[in-house]
Amino acid sequence: MDTLNAWAYKLILSDWKIWLGSLIYMGVGITGYSTTFFMPTILKEFGWTAKSAQVHTIPVYAVCAVGMLAAAWASDRVRHRYGFVMVGVVISTFGYGVLLSQSASPQLSAYPSSEAKYAAVFLAALGGYISMPLALAWLSNLRIVFRF
């Protein structure tokens, strides 16, 4: 397919693999971007001031950058993307699970401490930052063959 015309658009938009890839990237992309946009708000709920919450995002982003580069290097080394994307999704899910496990009463023993919730922010962000670039690389490397 060398030209984009009405027939080519119909062929592209009717391929289920393109729609599935879009859903996969949308899922990991929304997770990563929402973590980025709401991290200062989440950290402010720990009782910190706005300035302190902004400062506490720096270590999270530093760990995410190292984790993202390490996962990208490892996935290139083994020439495999899907497993690394799923590991990132599981890490992020675990982090969000800890953040969502807050109970209404701090007296309960299952109530996570501020340190545990801060560690969960690290995990939620790290999983998203691992998954986003690897999912994009994985989906762009897929060979979609159109049958004429």
Percent of the chain clearing pLDDT 70 (strictly above): 88
Answer yes or no: is 33 within a domain. Answer: yes
Answer yes or no: is 17 within a domain. Answer: yes
What value does the mean pLDDT take over residues 23-29? 90
Answer yes or no: is 77 within a domain. Answer: yes
Structurally, how many domains does the chain consist of?
1
Answer yes or no: is 95 within a domain. Answer: yes
Answer yes or no: is 101 within a domain. Answer: yes
* Cα 95 to Cα 39: distance, rounded to the nearest angstrom: 13
Give residue 4's pLDDT band: very low, low, confident or very high (50, 70, 90).
Answer: confident
What pLDDT, on the 0 to 100 scale, is given for residue 121?
A: 95
Residues 86-139: tens digit of each pLDDT:
999 999 999 999 888 875 556 655 666 888 889 999 999 999 999 999 999 888
Answer yes or no: is 102 within a domain. Answer: yes
Residues 43-92: tens digit of each pLDDT:
998 888 999 999 999 999 999 999 999 999 999 999 999 999 999 999 99
What pLDDT, on the 0 to 100 scale, is given for residue 145?
A: 63
What pLDDT, on the 0 to 100 scale, is given for residue 75?
A: 95
Answer yes or no: is 59 within a domain. Answer: yes
- Parent domain of 68: 6-141
What pLDDT, on the 0 to 100 scale, is given for residue 116?
A: 87
Answer yes or no: is 22 within a domain. Answer: yes
